[in-house]
Protein backbone atom coordinates (compact mmCIF):
# COMPACT_ATOMS: atom_id res chain seq x y z
CA UNK A 1 0.00 0.00 0.00
CA UNK A 2 2.38 2.67 -1.25
CA UNK A 3 -0.43 5.26 -1.30
CA UNK A 4 0.23 5.76 2.42
CA UNK A 5 3.87 6.56 1.77
CA UNK A 6 2.88 9.00 -1.01
CA UNK A 7 0.33 10.72 1.24
CA UNK A 8 2.99 11.11 3.93
CA UNK A 9 5.28 12.74 1.36
CA UNK A 10 2.43 14.98 0.23
CA UNK A 11 1.48 16.12 3.74
CA UNK A 12 5.09 16.79 4.59
CA UNK A 13 5.35 19.10 1.58
CA UNK A 14 2.03 20.80 2.33
CA UNK A 15 3.15 21.55 5.86
CA UNK A 16 6.47 22.98 4.66
CA UNK A 17 4.92 25.11 1.89
CA UNK A 18 2.27 26.55 4.22
CA UNK A 19 4.83 27.28 6.93
CA UNK A 20 7.08 29.04 4.39
CA UNK A 21 4.09 31.11 3.26
CA UNK A 22 3.25 32.40 6.72
CA UNK A 23 1.22 29.52 8.16
CA UNK A 24 -2.51 29.05 8.65
CA UNK A 25 -5.17 26.37 8.64
CA UNK A 26 -5.07 24.06 5.62
CA UNK A 27 -8.63 23.72 4.29
CA UNK A 28 -8.17 22.02 0.94
CA UNK A 29 -5.44 20.21 -0.99
CA UNK A 30 -5.76 19.65 -4.73
CA UNK A 31 -3.84 16.76 -6.25
CA UNK A 32 -3.61 15.48 -9.83
CA UNK A 33 -3.37 11.70 -10.12
CA UNK A 34 -2.58 10.17 -13.49
CA UNK A 35 -4.16 6.92 -14.63
CA UNK A 36 -0.66 5.52 -15.10
CA UNK A 37 0.68 6.79 -11.77
CA UNK A 38 0.15 3.47 -10.03
CA UNK A 39 -2.01 5.23 -7.45
CA UNK A 40 -5.45 3.88 -6.61
CA UNK A 41 -7.56 6.99 -5.85
CA UNK A 42 -9.73 5.25 -3.24
CA UNK A 43 -6.68 4.02 -1.33
CA UNK A 44 -5.06 7.44 -1.63
CA UNK A 45 -8.20 9.06 -0.20
CA UNK A 46 -8.48 6.63 2.70
CA UNK A 47 -4.78 7.04 3.56
CA UNK A 48 -5.32 10.81 3.41
CA UNK A 49 -8.37 10.67 5.70
CA UNK A 50 -6.38 8.70 8.26
CA UNK A 51 -3.15 10.69 8.11
CA UNK A 52 -4.61 14.18 7.65
CA UNK A 53 -6.36 13.75 11.00
CA UNK A 54 -2.95 13.40 12.66
CA UNK A 55 -1.32 16.23 10.73
CA UNK A 56 -4.14 18.78 10.57
CA UNK A 57 -6.56 18.80 13.52
CA UNK A 58 -9.09 20.92 11.58
CA UNK A 59 -11.06 19.46 8.72
CA UNK A 60 -9.08 19.43 5.49
CA UNK A 61 -10.55 18.39 2.14
CA UNK A 62 -8.69 16.42 -0.50
CA UNK A 63 -9.67 17.09 -4.11
CA UNK A 64 -8.37 14.49 -6.54
CA UNK A 65 -8.27 15.27 -10.23
CA UNK A 66 -7.88 12.04 -12.24
CA UNK A 67 -5.89 12.61 -15.42
CA UNK A 68 -6.08 10.28 -18.46
CA UNK A 69 -2.92 9.00 -20.11
CA UNK A 70 -1.75 10.85 -23.22
CA UNK A 71 1.19 9.99 -25.42
CA UNK A 72 3.06 11.38 -28.40
CA UNK A 73 4.50 9.27 -31.20
CA UNK A 74 8.25 9.80 -31.54
CA UNK A 75 8.11 9.02 -35.25
CA UNK A 76 5.09 10.90 -36.62
CA UNK A 77 4.38 13.30 -33.75
CA UNK A 78 0.75 12.21 -33.33
CA UNK A 79 -0.68 12.98 -29.84
CA UNK A 80 -3.33 10.55 -28.62
CA UNK A 81 -5.16 9.38 -25.51
CA UNK A 82 -4.02 5.91 -24.49
CA UNK A 83 -6.93 3.47 -24.37
CA UNK A 84 -6.77 0.04 -22.72
CA UNK A 85 -3.05 0.43 -22.05
CA UNK A 86 -2.16 0.17 -25.73
CA UNK A 87 0.84 2.41 -26.29
CA UNK A 88 0.90 2.05 -30.07
CA UNK A 89 0.50 5.12 -32.26
CA UNK A 90 -2.98 5.04 -33.84
CA UNK A 91 -1.71 7.04 -36.83
CA UNK A 92 1.39 5.17 -37.96
CA UNK A 93 1.00 2.05 -35.81
CA UNK A 94 4.70 1.72 -35.20
CA UNK A 95 5.54 3.66 -32.04
CA UNK A 96 7.64 4.10 -29.92
CA UNK A 97 5.65 6.68 -27.99
CA UNK A 98 6.44 9.08 -25.17
CA UNK A 99 3.99 9.46 -22.29
CA UNK A 100 3.28 13.18 -22.01
CA UNK A 101 0.54 13.08 -19.39
CA UNK A 102 -0.96 10.60 -16.96
CA UNK A 103 1.96 9.22 -14.95
CA UNK A 104 2.06 12.05 -12.44
CA UNK A 105 1.06 12.57 -8.82
CA UNK A 106 1.14 16.32 -8.62
CA UNK A 107 0.35 18.70 -5.79
CA UNK A 108 -1.58 21.45 -7.59
CA UNK A 109 -2.74 23.87 -4.90
CA UNK A 110 -3.36 24.38 -1.20
CA UNK A 111 -6.17 26.48 0.21
CA UNK A 112 -5.28 28.07 3.54
CA UNK A 113 -7.27 30.10 6.08
CA UNK A 114 -5.41 32.51 8.31
CA UNK A 115 -6.28 35.24 10.78
CA UNK A 116 -3.86 37.74 9.31
CA UNK A 117 -3.41 38.99 5.80
CA UNK A 118 -0.26 37.44 4.29
CA UNK A 119 1.55 37.34 0.97
CA UNK A 120 -1.14 35.56 -1.09
CA UNK A 121 -0.67 33.10 -3.92
CA UNK A 122 2.78 32.14 -5.11
CA UNK A 123 3.80 30.19 -8.13
Partner 1 sequence: MNTRVLSVRRDIQAEQKADAAAERERLGRRGTLVINLLSSPGSGKTSLLEATARHWAGRRSMAVLVGDLETDRDAQRLAPLVPVAQLTTGGACHLELPLVQRGLQALGDPAVDFLFIENVGNLVCPASHDLAEHLRVVLISTTEGDDKPGKYPKMFRTSQAMVVTKQDLLPHVPFSIEAVTEDALKIQPELNVLTTCAIDNSGIQEWCEFLEQQYQEKIESVYEPAGNQ
Distance CA 88, CA 71 (A): 9
- Residue 111 touches partner 1, criterion: CB under 8 A: yes
Q: Give the interface segment with partner 1, choosing from 50-58, 60-68, 82-90 (CB under 8 A).
A: 82-90
CA distances (Å), origin 101, targets 44, 67, 69, 71, 72: 19, 8, 5, 7, 10
Does residue 73 belong to the site contacting partner 1 (CB under 8 A)?
no
Q: Which of residues 31-70 bind partner 1 (CB under 8 A)?
A: 31, 36-39
Total residues in contact with partner 1, by rule CB under 8 A: 45
CB of 10 to partner 1, least distance (A): 5
CB of 120 closer than 8 Å to CB of 22: no
100 to 43, 49, 60, 64, 97: CA distances (angstroms): 25, 30, 31, 19, 9
Residues that bind partner 1 (CB under 8 A): 1-2, 5-6, 9-10, 13, 17-18, 21, 24, 27, 31, 36-39, 85-88, 95-97, 99, 103-118, 120-123
Amino acid sequence: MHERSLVQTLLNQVQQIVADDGGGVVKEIQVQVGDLSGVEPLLFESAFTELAREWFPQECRLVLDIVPVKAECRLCGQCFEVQDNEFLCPACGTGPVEVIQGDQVKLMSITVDSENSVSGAKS
